[in-house]
Amino acid sequence: MKTIDYTKYPLPRIRHHANPILYFPLKQLRGSNFEYPPVLKSVKWSDFFSDGKPPSYLDIGCGLGRFLIESALKDSKHNYLGFEVRRNAVSWIDGVIQGERLKNVKALWYSAVNGFEFIKSSSLSKVYYFFPDPWVKKRHYKRRAFSVELLAEIHRVLKPSGKLYLMTDVHEVDEFQMAAISKHGGFDFAYVDDSKWDIKIKTNQEEFCLLKNIPFIRMVCRKKRD
């Protein structure tokens, strides 16, 4: 399998967080005097993927995209879409995709809190939501994208029995997510250990946690059949 030499793509200075307004749905914001990722109603998949087909996999908050890119590289028969709110992270991923001539992967500058109307219902096999920004201060909880509304949108786009995968190293985030999943009610869910985790590729943050011996949880949520 092809391997990518990432040192060919020097990283620009990328801030830890985007402008805080980007964590809120556009419809909640007043005025238009700021740069906000376009809220899309429809897309032409052929602009993103060479086979013109829609994605099968979605990585929400793909960060620097290691997991997204490597997954696409390993599975050229399916298309992989990532959402990321930090624009220069998306530009960097774009550089790698162009440089390596990858045809089945796209990182989109997009804030997941706006829903994703442009993705057809019951079309995705898997959605990944890995190591979200924790926003541990109570006054920052509202910046967390994970909510019953986001779950409803993930539930809509997943195929029957499609799966949502979660990882976090922050206990409060885990509790917060669990509460939302229970409230939503449309998923069967379970914590899983290494032996039951069927994903071989690691994310940037997962690698970091493993390197520093930081414990984290893994959870798989399966869409219940209607």
Ligand X SMILES: C[S@@+](CC[C@H](N)C(=O)[O-])C[C@H]1O[C@@H](n2cnc3c(N)ncnc32)[C@H](O)[C@@H]1O
Could you say which DSSP state residue 141 is in? G
DSSP codes, 18-84: --GGGGS-GGG---S-S------S---GGGT-TT-PPPSEEEET-TT-HHHHHHHHH-TTS-EEEEE
- Residue with Cβ nearer ligand X (38 or 52): 38
CB of 226 to ligand X, least distance (A): 27
Spatial distance between the Cα atoms of 169 and 108, rounded to a whole number of angstroms = 25
CB of 113 to ligand X, least distance (A): 5
Taking CB under 6 A as the criterion, the residue among 204, 209, 216, 217 binding ligand X is 204
The answer to whether residue 168 forms part of the interface with ligand X (CB under 6 A) is: no
Count Cα atoms within 13 angstroms, Cβ side, for 223: 23
Spatial distance between the Cα atoms of 131 and 119, rounded to a whole number of angstroms = 23
CB of 110 to ligand X, least distance (A): 6
Q: Edge-to-edge strand order for the sheet containing 217-223?
A: 105-109, 80-84, 57-60, 124-130, 158-168, 217-223, 187-191
Catalytic residue among 5, 133, 169, 194: 133
Q: Is 133 tagged catalytic?
A: yes
Map the footprint of ligand X across residues 76-135, applying CB under 6 A. Answer: 83-86, 89, 111-113, 130-133
Spatial distance between the Cα atoms of 163 and 188, rounded to a whole number of angstroms = 10
Taking CB under 6 A as the criterion, the residue among 49, 55, 56, 62 binding ligand X is 62
Q: CA 64, 86, 58, 135 torsion: positive or negative?
A: positive
Non-local CB neighbours of 44 within 8 Å, separated by 6+ positions: none
How many chain residues interact with ligand X (CB under 6 A)?
A: 22
Taking CB under 6 A as the criterion, the residue among 55, 63, 92, 176 binding ligand X is 63
> Which residue type does 91 have?
S
- Residue with Cβ nearer ligand X (113 or 181): 113
Instruction: Give which of 113, 215, 127, 198 is closest to 165, Cα–Cα.
Output: 127
- Residue with Cβ nearer ligand X (100 or 133): 133
Binding region for ligand X (CB under 6 A) out of 2-10, 46-54, 93-101, 203-211 = 203-211
CB of 73 to ligand X, least distance (A): 16
Taking CB under 6 A as the criterion, the residue among 97, 145, 164, 181 binding ligand X is 145
The answer to whether residue 203 forms part of the interface with ligand X (CB under 6 A) is: yes
| Residues annotated catalytic, as ranges | 133
| Residue ranges that bind ligand X, judged by CB under 6 A | 18, 23, 61-63, 83-86, 89, 111-113, 130-133, 145, 203-206
